A and B are shown apart, each in its own frame.
Chain A
Amino acid sequence: MTSARTKFLIGGALVLGTAGYLMATSIKETGTYYLTPTELATKLDADPGFRNTGVKIGARVVPGSIQRVPGGKEYAFRVTDGAKIVPVVYRGIAPDTFTDGVDVVVEGRMATDGTFHATTLLAKCASRYENAPDAEKYKQTPGYRAGAKA
């Protein structure tokens, strides 16, 4: 007769084992690479089949590159990490914070024509909760300019 303790441990291992299995498989199935445009280019050069893998790109919107397809909810824009530029098309509602020069995370696939087809678009705003601490940025604000003039 096995002790209650052993039985409990077996049960616990079963629960945690199942949880671990679910974690492993769902990471395999839904885990997404998070890359910069340069890293993506390197990966694609090494293995063109990588095209079929869904990835996230974290980069900055090239100022002035945002175009809206008239009448539709489609956006075309370019993102960059300073070294490489990736053209992106996105269908859907863009967040309020999506404007020139913001950091965005786009998720989707690279098409054969070299355009990234995004299914989600997240925009990050440095001043979302806390303004960046550097003084230079602060000097751009109207409050500063008014104060400096006075």
Chain B
Amino acid sequence: MILVGELALWVALLMAAWAATTSFAGGALGREDLVASGRRGLYATTAMMVLASIGLWTALLTHDFSLKYVASNTSANMPKVYVFAAFWGGQAGSMLFWALILSVYSAIAIRFVPVKARDLVPWACGTLAVILVFFIATVCFKANPYDRLSFVPADGRGMNPQLQNPGMAIHPPNLYLGYVATSIPFAFAIAALVTRRLDAEWLGIVRRWSLLSWFFLTIGITLGMWWAYVELGWSGYWAWDPVENASLLPWLTGTAFLHSIMIQEKRGMLRKWNVVLVVTTFLLAIFGTFITRSGIIESVHSFAQSPVGSWFATFFLTATATTIYFVATRLRDLEARAELESMVSREAAFLYNNVVLVGIAFSVLWGTLFPILSEWVRGSKITVGPPFFNTVNIPLGLLLLGLTGVGPLIAWRKASTSNLKRQFAVPTATGLIVGVVLFALGMRDGYALVAYTLAGFVAATIVQEFQKGISARRNIHGESIPVAVVRLIGRNRRRYGGYIVHAGIVVLFAAFAGLAFKKDHDVQMKAGEAKELVDPLGHRWRFVSQGVSTSETLNRFVTAVGLEVFRDGVPQGILTSEKRQYFDSNKQPQFQPSTEVGIRPSAKMDLYVVLAGVRDETAELRISFNPLVVWVWIGGMIMAIGGLIVMWPQAERRRAPSGYVATLEPKRELAATT
């Protein structure tokens, strides 16, 4: 099977090259037979990539240490699930995984292309095949997981313990699924540009795949934050590290696109801008992969310096140049069909949403690249850290949060004063009340106050929308509240799914603002010693050390310290924090020691205890009080659920003429346009 897999990888490369050539030739010459051949070539590529991947999985699970990849990333004593996950744990495997996802996505996208978008197929198929050729060639020539060692080691080197975590097993696949999904919109954008069919045909496909990409990126980023928080022991979840930024960039531009596409659908505006966003999102995804792999930017995350860098740079530049050429030669076909009519309109709110999202993306990109740029321009490397990103992005983020509330409620074209009053009176009052109450309770952090005021405002707009929709259904259909909620969302997934995503954003911002009240304490404790600390909410905590213990399990030595925890005198149980030293099957220590954080999560605040080290029976601990952190994960989940609702295959197209939507929609439209 392993040999079959290796062979399949090379056949896949040939097939992809075939698919690219015949598709483009078929498209240019208008020959259906060549187009069909190209399509079949793409399907064959997919089949071969699946075989190639099964081959690697077989090698991993049967511990075939003659393969360098297997020997460097797994060991015989590792839990099976992580052996399976080692497929994407290392450089070569993750590149193969990327190519696998791309081939499967491409086959699905081309197979299920709507009839009206048929003309785009040759060019989209060809573009996807070119991207596949690039990735498969990179795997074959620069990072081949089938490379063999000249000898067979008795055991492999195992996986870095920090990666042996459930979050880490599923975080990368989600990110890859998100990154790779940006290729499909890119391919269809290129196809639409080439054929000058820049109307509705390509938008539907592009919107669906952009949503898919957004959905997986959202999950991937959230899981990444969670992993960093529970595994790395620095009691934070976002460090503005280049690799984190790389995952955020396509998410930002993708989010911008999902909003601006609505303006194109409704009003025929922003046609150039949308092409640019689609392409930029793809390029940022490639760029993200590139900086993660090339070691070009200093990051604690970096994969080792590796030879794929120059290939990526070439690919990146080629893709950029191609796009610029096609956009430049098709500017006339991309003229807007309407003009912005008023600053007080949904269009304007969405435009500002785009300005802010792209502004954030630009500042993140700038900060990430600044060490390189400054070295080019001034000769010495200057780095910027979290203070830079926070200074710029907190105000922009808050502006975005405010727009989250305004956008969905304000009327298209031009909002009237009565529209504004009706929609925004209650939410504005709610937000202000939240702000005033928090101030009265003693909150003095400026940004946090603004964040909670805006969160209150946006939350109120969402509740108001749901309440309106539900009471309309109850009046018309006489439904009970739960039925009305389910049907309301089900019959109008895009709109209410979007509100749920926005609710997730509100939760997320509220959680981010909690960081303003974080408190860290470094303490040293002997067995039996007690320490008292006061948390940001004013509770008194008492910690009694149970002393240091050591033990040995499956593949690690563990040094642990237990703390008996009391809050305001009430016992809270024992919190354990560990330091682990992993070893291989010969009991030789492997990797640096890692930390297992003791976390006591709660809705209001996490208690987070890290065992930094042990000296002469004295445990050195960092005890942190992290307010509202669990809401980051919950907010991320709510966003993903909202995204899923929006994405769920639409039944409303069939239902639209039958009346449900018709009874609700005209009312809103009427109200919105008066």
Contact = CB atoms under 8 A, between A and B. Distances in A.
Interface of A: 3-5, 7-8, 11-12, 15-16, 18-19, 22-23, 25-27, 29-35, 39, 43, 56, 58, 68, 73, 92-94, 96-97, 99, 105, 122, 124-133, 138, 141-144, 146-148, 150
B245 to A, nearest CB: 14
B351 A150 contact: no
A105 B612 CA distance: 19
B151 A127 contact: no
Contacts of B388: 23, 26-27, 30-31
Contacts of B152: 147
Contacts of A23: 363, 366-367, 388, 391-392
12 contacts: A4-B341, A19-B362, A26-B387, A27-B370, A33-B381, A34-B371, A96-B233, A127-B591, A129-B160, A131-B304, A138-B72, A141-B153
Contact of A142 (B302, B339, B584, B622): B584
Contact of B592 (A34, A35, A97, A141): A97
Contact of A30 (B339, B380, B387, B592): B387
B111 to A, nearest CB: 35
A126 B374 CA distance: 25
Q: Which 5 pairs from chain A and chain B are nearest by CB? A: A147-B153, A142-B588, A26-B391, A30-B387, A34-B381
A23 B355 CA distance: 16
Given A4-B342, A58-B298, A130 B304 contact: yes
B479 interface: no
Given A27-B384, A96-B595, A143-B71, A129 B163 contact: yes
Contacts of A130: 72, 90-91, 303-304, 306
Nearest to B591: A127
Contacts of A128: 160, 162, 300-302
B370 A133 contact: no
B300 A12 contact: no
B348 interface: yes
B560 to A, nearest CB: 15
Contacts of B348: 4, 8
Nearest to A125: B592
Nearest to B621: A93
Interface size range of chain B in the complex:
35 or more
A3 B367 CA distance: 35
A104 to B, nearest CB: 11
B564 interface: no
A132 B345 CA distance: 55
Contacts of A93: 522, 610, 612-613, 620, 622
Given A34-B382, A99-B592, A127-B160, A132 B304 contact: yes
B156 interface: yes
Nearest to A5: B340
A148 B387 contact: no
Interface in B372-429: 374, 380-385, 387-388, 391-392, 395-396, 399
Contacts of A39: 380
A12 B154 contact: no
Contact of A143 (B154, B342, B363, B595): B154
B594 interface: yes
Interface string B268-305: 00000000000000000000000000000010111111
A66 to B, nearest CB: 13
A5 B163 CA distance: 51
Nearest to A26: B391
B490 interface: no
B535 interface: no
Contacts of A126: 304
B157 interface: yes
Contacts of A132: 304-305
B287 to A, nearest CB: 19
Given A18-B395, A143-B71, A150-B154, A96 B594 contact: yes
A146 B374 CA distance: 48
Interface string B349-376: 0011001100100110011001100100
A142 B585 CA distance: 9
A15 B359 contact: yes
Contact of B391 (A7, A22, A73): A22
A52 B527 CA distance: 43
Q: Which of A8, A58, A122 lies at the interface centre, i.e. has the most chain B CB atoms within 10 A of its CB? A: A8
Contacts of B156: 143
Interface string B141-162: 0000000000111111100101
B309 interface: no
A83 to B, nearest CB: 17
Nearest to A2: B343
Contact of A96 (B301, B362, B524, B592): B592
B39 to A, nearest CB: 36
Interface string B56-77: 0000000001000001100100
A133 B92 CA distance: 11
Contacts of B383: 31-34, 56
A55 to B, nearest CB: 10
B78 to A, nearest CB: 13
B155 A146 contact: yes
B593 interface: yes
Nearest to A128: B160
A7 B385 contact: no
B340 A8 contact: yes
Contacts of B71: 143
Nearest to A13: B355
B269 to A, nearest CB: 10
Contacts of A26: 384, 387-388, 391-392
A34 B299 CA distance: 13
B586 interface: yes
Given A22-B392, A147-B152, 19 more contacts: A4-B345, A23-B392, A31-B370, A31-B383, A31-B388, A34-B298, A56-B383, A93-B610, A93-B622, A105-B298, A129-B89, A130-B72, A130-B91, A131-B157, A131-B304, A143-B75, A143-B584, A143-B586, A146-B154
A128 B590 CA distance: 12
Contacts of B306: 130, 133
B578 to A, nearest CB: 12
A8 B351 contact: yes
A105 B381 CA distance: 13
Give the interface centre of A7, A31, A96 by most chain B CB atoms within 10 Å: A96
Nearest to A31: B382
A41 B336 CA distance: 58
Nearest to B143: A133
Contacts of A29: 387
Interface in B509-565: 522, 524
Contacts of A34: 298, 371, 380-383
A35 B380 CA distance: 8
B384 A129 contact: no
B584 to A, nearest CB: 6
B579 interface: yes
Contacts of A99: 592
A33 B380 contact: yes
A7 B612 contact: no
Given A19-B359, A133-B306, A33 B300 contact: no
